[in-house]
Amino acid sequence: MNPIADLDILADTTAPVSSAPDAQSEIDQPRTVAASAEAPNGRRVFIETYGCQMNVADSELVASILGGEGYGLAATEDEADVVLINTCAIREKAEDRVRGRLARFRAQKTKRLAAGEKDLTIGVLGCMAERLRTKLLDQEKLVDIVAGPDAYRDLPNLLASADETGQAAVNVHLSREETYADLTPVRYDSNGVSAFVSIMRGCDNMCAFCVVPFTRGRERSRPVTSILSECAQLVEAGYKEVTVLGQNVNSYRVDADGHAVDFAELLYRISLLSPELRIRYSTSHPKDCSDELLHVHRERPTVCDFIHLPVQHGNTDVLKRMRRTYSREQYLELIDRARAIVPDIAFSTDIIAGFCGETDAEHADTISLMEQVRYDHAFMFAYSERPDTYAARKYSDDVPEAVKKARLSEIITLQNAVSLEKNRQRIGRREVVLVEGTSKRSDEQLRGRTDSNHMVVFDRPAGLAKGDYALVEVTDCSSATLHGTFVSATTLEDAAHPSAAV
């Protein structure tokens, strides 16, 4: 779950590298079902998820849809009657990894059938579905069902049809309306503390490098009432943090009773639900990051002072080639404005090295922008050409792999140094930490996040549990983690108004 920066990964220039404590924008390792559940119809599904947080949220919807039809969840592929891979197409490597898994499942199916054991139905969901369906179905005969991101309601039919006919079943239709607004996701992989809430689907931006508009279709926003009621249910169930998700959340817009609700207002309304519910969001496009939104950060203590604001590149000409619709200067102005309105706001970003035609001087501009902004975290990628995109059609992927690798390496080295310096500046500060569980290294230590999304590890005091807020004094750090000492248990309300708590 945690693609922490590892220089070995540079051998693979298409893999994401993160300086973040946990992946905000990308999951490099698959997520799988945590526990088995009842299977009233006698069939168990194993779901493996690749890609972004949206895919995780979608897999939770798939579990809900299939659960409604009597399917249970399998904790391993061996227990399963059906395996579904929710796929990512954002870089070539992500696709390669999924094909490897499919081939393995196919071998398992063949083995089972030869041994006279129960059949294994294999399905591909998500972003690879549309593009690779012919290949996966006809040429390689790897899968039994294929369902695109807007076709999950059809999954029970597709499964039944594949079962009855022995023929592959496909639905890759992209919708202009589907938001799955009425469904309650099954949070099977959740820590019970923080949850993803999907608020919109698709993307209309057409950045030159990005395959998402082709795989996920047009942008559409989910109604406010269904978002608020899902968040209220999460509060009721004891959740303490929601991350609202969309490919470009800042362009969220719906008409509610003749009144337009934009993203700033949506966040404001979510923040009224509970004084103890932290709110984060991902991912945002700099072009739509409004002052109203920044003021919501400032005014609402539960809206975390952290923004994932992908810059992609530091040079205006490259940004133009990428069709990002802002210049270096406009991006830097936005960062300054955000810091003026919300002092101490933390930023993470996405950066692509080696985009088409990138010169040494243009790459140097990315480095200088990083030095200027000083991100808390970054997700750093080597450019990987994706079929059908504007860049694939119009430009040549002409930066040699070795140069991409070297530039990415320079970017990662810089970011790791900046992350470490920024973390060091937090030593001595007292941070409000939401406890997410025990530390990966020791049961005697707890792990949680600050408002600014920094991971903190500290010795477990008696009585403190997952889902509690704690005031922790930072005593040490690495580039990825803060270490601290427990000061006291707290609430978000008390932490926001310390004098009122006395």
3-state DSSP assignment of residue 52: coil
Choose one: 143-151, 156-164, 202-210, 422-430; the region binding ligand SF4 (CB under 6 A): 202-210
| Burial zone of 200 (CB within 10 Å; 0-12 exposed, 13-18 middle, 19+ buried) | buried
Residue 161 contact, options ligand 5AD, ligand SF4, none, Cβ 5-8 Å cut-off depending on partner type: none
Residue 203 contact, options ligand SF4, ligand 5AD, none, Cβ 5-8 Å cut-off depending on partner type: ligand SF4
Residue 376 contact, options ligand 5AD, ligand SF4, none, Cβ 5-8 Å cut-off depending on partner type: none
Position 248 contacts ligand SF4 (CB under 6 A): yes
Q: What residues from 278 to 307 belong to the interface with ligand SF4 (CB under 6 A)? A: 285
Between CA 213 and CA 384 the distance in angstroms is: 16
Pick from 16, 213, 217, 448 the residue near ligand SF4 by CB under 6 A.
213
Pick from 13, 171, 198, 247 the residue near ligand SF4 by CB under 6 A.
247
Q: Which amino acid is at 21?
A: P
> Which residue, among 20, 88, 19, has the nearest Cα to 52 in the 3D structure?
88
The minimum distance between CB 391 and ligand 5AD, in angstroms, equals: 7
Nearest residue to ligand 5AD on Cβ basis = 350
Between CA 425 and CA 474 the distance in angstroms is: 10
Residue 178 contact, options ligand 5AD, ligand SF4, none, Cβ 5-8 Å cut-off depending on partner type: none
Between CA 278 and CA 270 the distance in angstroms is: 10
| Burial zone of 500 (CB within 10 Å; 0-12 exposed, 13-18 middle, 19+ buried) | exposed
Q: Which residues pair with 198 in a beta bridge?
A: 245
Between CA 265 and CA 258 the distance in angstroms is: 15
Between CA 241 and CA 346 the distance in angstroms is: 17
Between CA 373 and CA 382 the distance in angstroms is: 21
| Residue 176 CB coordination number (10 Å) | 10
Q: What residues from 69 to 128 belong to the interface with ligand SF4 (CB under 6 A)? A: none
Residue 91 contact, options ligand 5AD, ligand SF4, none, Cβ 5-8 Å cut-off depending on partner type: ligand 5AD
Cβ distance to ligand 5AD smaller for residue 1 or 107:
1
Tell me which residues touch ligand 5AD (CB under 6 A).
Answer: 25-26, 90-91, 209-210, 310, 312, 350, 352, 381, 383-384, 386
Query: What element of type H or E holds 484?
Result: strand 481-490
Position 57 contacts ligand SF4 (CB under 6 A): no
The minimum distance between CB 14 and ligand 5AD, in angstroms, equals: 7
Cβ distance to ligand 5AD smaller for residue 240 or 324:
324
Position 245 contacts ligand SF4 (CB under 6 A): no
User: Using an 8 Å Cβ cutoff, are 315 and 360 in contact?
Assistant: no
The minimum distance between CB 29 and ligand 5AD, in angstroms, equals: 16
The minimum distance between CB 228 and ligand 5AD, in angstroms, equals: 27
Position 452 contacts ligand SF4 (CB under 6 A): no
Residue 383 contact, options ligand 5AD, ligand SF4, none, Cβ 5-8 Å cut-off depending on partner type: ligand 5AD
Buried-exposed string 416-438: b where 16+ CB fall within 10 A, e elsewhere: bebbeebbeebeeebbbbbbbee
Position 249 contacts ligand SF4 (CB under 6 A): no
Cβ distance to ligand SF4 smaller for residue 285 or 297:
285
Position 250 contacts ligand SF4 (CB under 6 A): no
Position 271 contacts ligand SF4 (CB under 6 A): no
Cβ distance to ligand SF4 smaller for residue 213 or 217:
213
Residue 59 contact, options ligand SF4, ligand 5AD, none, Cβ 5-8 Å cut-off depending on partner type: none
Between CA 160 and CA 171 the distance in angstroms is: 13
The minimum distance between CB 368 and ligand SF4, in angstroms, equals: 22
User: Using an 8 Å Cβ cutoff, are 472 and 429 in contact?
Assistant: no
Between CA 180 and CA 298 the distance in angstroms is: 31
Question: In three state form, how does the secondary structure of 115-144 look?
Answer: CCCCCCEEEEEECHHHHHHHHHHHHCCCCC
The minimum distance between CB 381 and ligand SF4, in angstroms, equals: 11
Q: Which amino acid is at 355?
A: F
User: Using an 8 Å Cβ cutoff, are 374 and 336 in contact?
Assistant: no
The minimum distance between CB 143 and ligand 5AD, in angstroms, equals: 24
Residue 248 contact, options ligand SF4, ligand 5AD, none, Cβ 5-8 Å cut-off depending on partner type: ligand SF4
Between CA 412 and CA 382 the distance in angstroms is: 11
Cβ distance to ligand 5AD smaller for residue 352 or 477:
352
Cβ distance to ligand 5AD smaller for residue 350 or 451:
350
Site of interaction with ligand SF4 (CB under 6 A): 203, 205-207, 210, 212-213, 247-248, 285
